[in-house]
Amino acid sequence: MLLPIGDDNQGRLTTPIVVYSLVAINVIVFLLQLSGGDQFTLAYSAVPYKITHNVTLVPPGVRGALPPGTDESLAIRRGLPVPRGIPQEEGPSPIYLTLLTSMFMHGSILHIAGNMLYLWIFGDNIEDNFGHLRFLIFYLICGLIASLAQILADPDSIIPSLGASGAIAGVLGAYLVMFPRNRVRSILPLPFIWTIVELPAVVVLGFWIVIQIASQYTTMESAKATQGGGVAYMAHIGGFVGGLILCFIFRRRYPV
């Protein structure tokens, strides 16, 4: 697995104020999640069942009950089916607003750290090319596309979907089209040692999307036997494809 830690910014002409602002907002919202607890997270995440049925509360026990002995709060964090007896927080009204709020929420410190790292590395060059406002619109649209892709994959799921991953996947898609030859510094974990390598963006991001597609296939196979939660790989794929296409509309100049 490659972990990007930096890229070539020699051609960047502007300060990526939108990227910096998005990182700050995501951190602030994550702190609100920590103080608000599981109910806050569940209320403002995008739950496919709520979106497709236009309800603010998922009826208790829709997808069965928890396995015996499962901790209730842990179940909510993992997106497992919620049985009768667990109070649920109502989401915003209309419930479709969770498609927006969920983009700024995360499930753990590692989740937000990984997402913000990718946004920090790859977002600045895209913002520089698109312009600040156009980049923000692009980012939000990619996030919406990602959420809708996840909902279409399982419209009756009550597993909460949250995170900036889908929107950032759109940024990666645009980066792959516009800066495929940019050198990306990445950590390559080898047996007994980690080393830093420089690879073209097409290799790093190409490897990333292959992993997402393979993981989505595995998730689909696993879903046939279990109702457990997991990473929303379909959102990653949807956001990435959206970014690939939308970059041709939003870019203002061709990279040199």
Catalytic residues: 165, 236
DSSP secondary structure, 116-146, as one string: HHHHHHHHHHHHHHH-HHHHHHHHHHHHHHH
As given in the structure block, the two tokens for residue 120 are: 């920090």
| Residue where the block lists tokens 């996840």 | 150
Nearest to 34 by CA among 108, 96, 87: 108
| Residue where the block lists tokens 């989740």 | 111
The answer to whether the Cα torsion of 32, 36, 42, 44 is positive or negative is negative
Helix, strand, coil percentages (3-state) for the chain, rounded to 5, are: 60, 10, 30
**Cα torsion through 56, 137, 146, 202, rounded to 10:** -160
| Residue where the block lists tokens 């972990």 | 3
Nearest to 107 by CA among 256, 245, 229: 229
Residue 46's identity, in one-letter code, is A
Angstrom distance (rounded) from CA 174 to CA 180: 10
As given in the structure block, the two tokens for residue 37 are: 């607890």
Q: CB-side exposure of 225: number of CA atoms within 13 Å?
A: 4
Q: CB-side exposure of 106: number of CA atoms within 13 Å?
A: 20
